[in-house]
Structure 1
Amino acid sequence: MLAKQWLNNARDVMSRIEDTQMENIRKTAEVMADSIEAGRWVHTFGCGHATIPIEEMYPRIGGFVGFHPMIELPLTFFTRITGEMGVHQFLFLERMEGYGVEIMKGYNFDPKDTMWVFSHSGINNVNIDVALEAKKKGMKVIAFGSAAEAKGKQTRHSSGKTIFDVADLVVDTCAPAGDASVPLKNHQDKIGPVSTMAFITCVWMTVTTVAEILADRGVKLHIHPSHNVPGDTTAKERLEGCLTEYKRRVAGV
């Protein structure tokens, strides 16, 4: 069954992440914990399906304040496929050098912040722009993606660098370069991509490690609660606490 083949492929990727990336995940989590403990941000950026791990992180039940999503609508909302904000425009924008520089002008940053970029291939210009601008502003840059598979790939950026070359720290998601993992009879292209599952796996392994580090340091986390549990009479109050802290950080107080 192809369903089981995809499941086995997904499990294999998760096992390889566990076997090879635990030390890198711990290193990235330490950097992120320092930013959050300082009252600053871990900014998160990606485009295309690499915005999914960003949306998964915060706001999200079980997530906590300290992760700031930077998602550009034209880089994520291409589910109309054709017409307005379609796939053609998206592909053009993610490869347009300079677009990421303009995106970065819309936010206030601090050297104590961390920039966390998601890119499966590591070669597209908007991600590299964002990473280079973050480094200019004194931030540590962390990249998650298929780093080993990107070795030897030709970047699209004039710097000559991939996102993995720019980053201070890298976590390899261990997904195959082509992403899709299941061969289909009578077809050239495979089906069943695994990069999104790999991203989400790495995200929660990292975020839970950040939480563990901060809790061990005695830092209070503002954790987004479930508001669907019968009998939890303080969930609304805890949610308001999260949003209040988020607004405080956004305001730079």
Structure 2
Amino acid sequence: MLALEWLKNAHAAMDRIEATQLENIKKAATLMADSIEAGRWVHTFGCGHATIPVEEMYPRIGSFVGFHPLCEMPLTFFTQIIGQMGIHQFLFLEREEGYGVEIMKNYDFVPQDTMWIFSHTGINAVNIDMALEAQKRGMKVIVFGSAGASAGKTTRHSCGKTLFEIADVVVDSCVPLEDASVPLKHHYDKVGPLSTLGFVTMVWMTITTVAEILESRGVKLHIHPSHNIPGDTTARERLDEAISEYKKRVKVL
């Protein structure tokens, strides 16, 4: 049953993350905790399906204020497939050098911020633009992706480097470069990608570590609560408090 083969592959990827990436996750989480403790942001960015981990982390029940999504609609919403904002336009834009530079002009970043980028292959120009521009502003850059499997891939950016070569901290998703993991008997291409599962697994391993670090430092977390639990009479109050804190911080952007 191919469902079980995909599940086996998914478990294997998560096991590799656990076995090899805990130290790097702790390094990344420490930089993020420093930004949030300073009252600043961890800015999050990805293209295509690499925006799914960005959208997963905040606003989200069980996450907390400090993560700021940079979601560009033409790089995010491409589910129309054809026509306006279709796949062809998306593929062009994510490979177009200079687009990320223009995105970064829209915000006021400071060196206390952290840039967190998701990219499976690490070769596309817009992600590299974002990383280089972040570093020019004194920010630390954290990259999550299939770093080991992407070794030797040629960058699509004139800087001559991949995203993994630029980053201050890299966390490897431990996913195969082709992403899809389940072969079919009569087709060349496999089905059953793993990168989203790898990204989301690492997101929550990282964010829980950030929470652990901040709590150990005595920092109050503005957690997004569940407001669906019977008998929890203060959930809306806690939600309003979290949103107020987010609003206060976002004014500086």
TM-score for the superposition, normalised by structure 2: 0.99
Q: Tell me which residue corresponds to 2:231.
A: 231
The one-letter code sitting in structure 2 at the alignment partner of 1:19 is: A
Alignment RMSD (CA, Å): 0.8
The one-letter code sitting in structure 1 at the alignment partner of 2:57 is: M
Q: Tell me which residue corresponds to 1:12.
A: 12
Q: Tell me which residue corresponds to 1:68.
A: 68
Q: Tell me which residue corresponds to 1:2.
A: 2
SS at match of 1:178: coil
**How far apart in 2 are the matches of 1:243 and 1:30?**
24
Task: After TM superposition, give the deviation of residue 252 of structure 1 in Å.
Answer: 2.6
The one-letter code sitting in structure 2 at the alignment partner of 1:163 is: L
**How far apart in 1 are the matches of 2:106 and 2:235?**
33
Task: After TM superposition, give the deviation of residue 64 of structure 1 in Å.
Answer: 0.2
**How far apart in 1 are the matches of 2:66 and 2:23?**
22
Please state if 1:211 is matched with 2:211. yes
**How far apart in 2 are the matches of 1:230 and 1:81?**
41
Where in structure 1 are there 5+ consecutive unaligned residues? Answer: none
TM-score for the superposition, normalised by structure 1: 0.99
The one-letter code sitting in structure 2 at the alignment partner of 1:183 is: P
**How far apart in 2 are the matches of 1:169 and 1:88?**
31
Q: Provide Cα deviations, 1:71-104, integer angstroms capped at 9, x if missing partner.
A: 0000010101000100000000000000000000
Where in structure 2 are there 5+ consecutive unaligned residues? Answer: none
The sequence identity of aligned pairs, in percent, is 72
**How far apart in 2 are the matches of 1:162 and 1:75?**
19
Q: Provide Cα deviations, 1:3-45, integer angstroms capped at 9, x if missing partner.
A: 0000000000000000000000001000000000000000000
The one-letter code sitting in structure 2 at the alignment partner of 1:136 is: K
Q: Tell me which residue corresponds to 2:80.
A: 80
Q: Provide Cα deviations, 1:91-136, integer angstroms capped at 9, x if missing partner.
A: 0000000000000001110100000000000000000000000000
Task: After TM superposition, give the deviation of residue 251 of structure 1 in Å.
Answer: 1.3
**How far apart in 2 are the matches of 1:172 and 1:249?**
30
The one-letter code sitting in structure 2 at the alignment partner of 1:171 is: V
**How far apart in 2 are the matches of 1:252 and 1:127?**
24
Q: Tell me which residue corresponds to 2:181.
A: 181
Task: After TM superposition, give the deviation of residue 185 of structure 1 in Å.
Answer: 1.2
The one-letter code sitting in structure 1 at the alignment partner of 2:70 is: M
The one-letter code sitting in structure 1 at the alignment partner of 2:39 is: G
SS at match of 2:171: strand
**How far apart in 2 are the matches of 1:30 and 1:76?**
28
Residues 17-96 of structure 1 aligned to structure 2 (within 5 Å): 17-96=17-96
The one-letter code sitting in structure 2 at the alignment partner of 1:203 is: V
Q: Tell me which residue corresponds to 1:100.
A: 100
Task: After TM superposition, give the deviation of residue 66 of structure 1 in Å.
Answer: 0.2
